[in-house]
Structure 1
């Protein structure tokens, strides 16, 4: 799967959070990651790009100033 979109909350410490939207051209998924690559993550399959972007927006929430990478 390739990364279609990636956001980071800007924190380099334990509160680091990343949200990824990935696709292989047919399937879409959203991953929310806490604590960097060694931290916890949750992956949700989505039926299409639109629903993946809606879920990614919801998982980011308003708490941090997110940066698109």
Structure 2
């Protein structure tokens, strides 16, 4: 899976960091929410389309304005 989009909540501490990813292999789509940095917990949800993945990623980020898009 390749990362299409990635956001983080702007908190540099490992305990407070949150990340949301949209990933695809060209056919399947998934959204991953990660808590606590690379060694933290994560949840992955399969999505039927890119549009559905964007909706889910938006919902998991919520309305907090501190979220930042990270570009590769």
TM-score between the two structures when normalised by the length of structure 1? 0.96
The aligned length equals 69
Deviation per CA, 1:3-41: give whole Å up to 9, x if none: 000001000111100000000000000000000010000
Trace 1:20-59 onto structure 2 (pairs within 5 A).
20-59=21-60
* 1:41-69 C-alpha deviation (Å, 9 max, x unpaired): 00000000000000000000123510000
CA distance in 2 between counterparts of 1:61 and 1:34 reads: 14
Report the aligned-residue RMSD: 0.8
| Residue 63 (1) aligns with residue 64 (2) | yes
Distance 2:64 2:22 in 1: 19
Measure the CA separation in 2 of the matches of 1:64 and 1:12: 16
